[in-house]
Chains A and B, each alone.
Chain A
């Protein structure tokens, strides 16, 4: 158990160190997120913007497209210099590789979310004061599920000559339950003022568990240098 934990920390640390030194992913992705929010802000009228529901929708669009980019880039790191082959030869369980990649992706997405959510809140004048905690929880659970599936498919797709949009198109429909559930809960929360019910949370929880378990199991089968 301790060994697994150490391996995960080591692999995650490696990824984050690479990111810190090359700084290729984070800046790009944050700016993309901001651009998306600005475009949506320009497109939607003022009455639509301050609605809590469009808050979630805007953030989702930004998270989904920027997130896909994050997953692509963290996986493409392994393509350089045969890094993936070396990784597979090391005495590390493949599922450990998955968990490590997932955590790296989650950390990057967390940073992304921490930056662009306030941007959206300010630009659109959202009032989150009604239920900031529940908002955070919903978005956190959703991002977890999204990252779980995204990490898996980034690995599956990455060895193909990356045809533009391939990762986006496979991950987006699979993430739709997360989008539906979280937007519905946000509507209830901010427009109708009702606290989140059990059903919504159960759906998110079930989705997270399903995505995590399936991705973790399937990852074993698909990783090829």
Chain B
């Protein structure tokens, strides 16, 4: 049964990698270059699916946080933590690709535009979630605080969206998509969604196993047979892995 599981996992990730590779080829070889913005517009095919999946990850943090507040089961905390890690990674990607696009389009790495500001605040909201975890020693207290934070942070997202719309928007961009571009964009959603679900699931399983071992964050043991393994660092509580 366990072997079936790991075969499935391997196939899943191989398929995801293959789809990503195909996607990259599509973007750079198949899809036509947009007329007004030039090649930099190709960032869009990665940026948009990741942005949508960031929202999905944040929603997962919210649901898991509500779940924890409701049922007080550790698994909700693990799920929230896993989804928060993915949310932070994705928000960073959205932010960085947005900045790179901005640099190419306007010449500056940063502008206080609604879109970039929103990306930055979203990233900050969930980075805080990860960063406070090691500061709280009791695993129950940690789960509680993070659950409350996870709930309020997600509800904050529409507020951030609305408030940044008060900012002056220098470069509103609406892109006309040709059919080839549309199909590339839709294609990209498949591997990105697979990556999202796969990463959250993997992180969740890891968190469960770490909790079962009462483990703290540590490096993998050295591969050499003669080297001494690192001293295990079991503490009285769980330190959350960032």
Tell whether any CB of A sits under 8 Å from a CB of B in the complex: yes
A199, B165: Cβ atoms closer than 8 Å: yes
Which B134-175 residues have a C-beta within 8 angstroms of A? 135-138, 141, 144-145, 148-149, 151-153, 155-156, 159-160, 162-167
A16 within 8 A of B: no
Q: Please determine whether B144 and A203 come into contact, CB atoms closer than 8 angstroms.
A: no
- A169–B163 alpha-carbon span in the complex (Å): 20
Q: Is the CB of A184 within 8 A of B163?
A: yes
Residues from chain B with a CB closer than 8 A to the CB of A200 are 166
Inter-chain contact A180/B141, CB cutoff 8 Å: no
User: Given A152-B148, A156-B148, A221-B69, are A170 and B163 also a contact pair (CB < 8 Å)?
Assistant: no
- A176–B166 touching, CB < 8 Å: no
Residues of B in contact, count (CB < 8 Å):
30
Main secondary structure of the interface of A (DSSP, over half): helix
Given contacts A160-B141, A221-B69, contact A177 B159 (CB under 8 A): yes
State whether the Cβ of A98 lies closer than 8 Å to any Cβ in chain B.
Answer: no
Instruction: Tell me if B131 is interfacial: C-beta within 8 Å of chain A.
Output: yes
Chain B: CB-nearest residue to A169: B128
Residue interface mask A188-225, B partner, CB < 8 A = 1: 00000000000110110011001100110010011000
Q: Indicate which residue in A153, A157, A161, A203 contacts B159 across the interface (CB closer than 8 Å).
A: A203
A210 touches B155 (CB 8 A): yes
Q: Is B24 in the interface zone, CB < 8 Å from A?
A: no
- Inter-chain contacts of A159 with B (CB < 8 A): 141
Chain B CB within 8 A of A181 CB? yes
B151 near A218 with CB under 8 A, answer: yes
Q: A152-B148, A157-B145, A221-B69 are in contact. Are A173 and B121 (CB under 8 A)?
A: yes
Within the assembled complex, what's the spacing in Å between the Cα atoms of A54 and B108?
23
Residues of chain A lying within 8 A (CB to CB) of residue B152: 149, 152, 174, 211, 214-215, 218
Give the size category of A's interface with B: 20 to 34
Closest to B122 in A: A173
Q: Which A residues are in CB contact (< 8 Å) with B153?
A: 173-174
Bound complex: CA A156 to CA B131 (Å):
17
Contacts of B151 in A (CB 8 A): 214, 218
- A174 contacts across to B, CB distance below 8 A: 125, 149, 152-153, 156
A177 contacts B148, CB within 8 Å? no
Known: A153-B148, A170-B149, A174-B153. A180 touches B135 (CB 8 A): no
How near does chain A come to B185, taking the closest CB pair, in angstroms?
30
The verdict on A129 contacting chain B, using a C-beta distance below 8 Å, is no
Contact (Cβ within 8 A) B148 A181: no
For window 161-217 of B, CB contacts with A under 8 Å fall at 162-167
Residues of B within 8 A of A181 (CB): 162-163, 166
Question: What residues of A have a CB within 8 angstroms of the CB of B165 in the complex?
Answer: 199
Alpha-carbon distance between A221 and B72 when the two chains are bound, in angstroms = 11
Given contacts A153-B148, A173-B128, A184-B163, contact A166 B156 (CB under 8 A): no
> Which listed residue, A160, A180, A199, touches B138 by the CB 8 Å rule?
A160
Smallest CB separation, B73 vs chain A (Å): 14
CA distance A7 to B60 in the complex (A): 38
The verdict on B132 contacting chain A, using a C-beta distance below 8 Å, is yes
CA distance A200 to B127 in the complex (A): 27
Which of B138, B141, B148 contacts A218, CB < 8 Å? Answer: B148
- A221 contacts across to B, CB distance below 8 A: 69, 148
Residue contact A218 to B128, C-beta cutoff 8 Å: no
- A170: contacting residue among B121, B132, B160, B162, CB under 8 A: B132
Are B156 and A203 in contact, with the CB atoms below 8 A?
Answer: no
Bound together, the chains give a CA A210 to CA B163 distance in angstroms of 14
**In this assembly, does A113 line the interface, its C-beta being within 8 Å of a C-beta of chain B?**
no
Which single residue of chain A is at the shortest CB-CB distance from B159? A177
Given A173-B128, A174-B156, A176-B160, 15 more A-B residue pairs with CB atoms under 8 Å apart are A152-B148, A160-B136, A160-B137, A166-B132, A166-B136, A170-B149, A174-B125, A176-B163, A177-B159, A180-B160, A180-B167, A184-B163, A184-B166, A184-B167, A218-B148
7 contacting pairs across A/B (C-beta < 8 A): A166-B132, A169-B132, A173-B156, A176-B156, A185-B166, A200-B166, A214-B155
The 10 closest A-B pairs by CB, nearest first: A177-B159, A184-B166, A180-B163, A181-B163, A177-B163, A163-B135, A203-B162, A173-B125, A173-B124, A177-B160
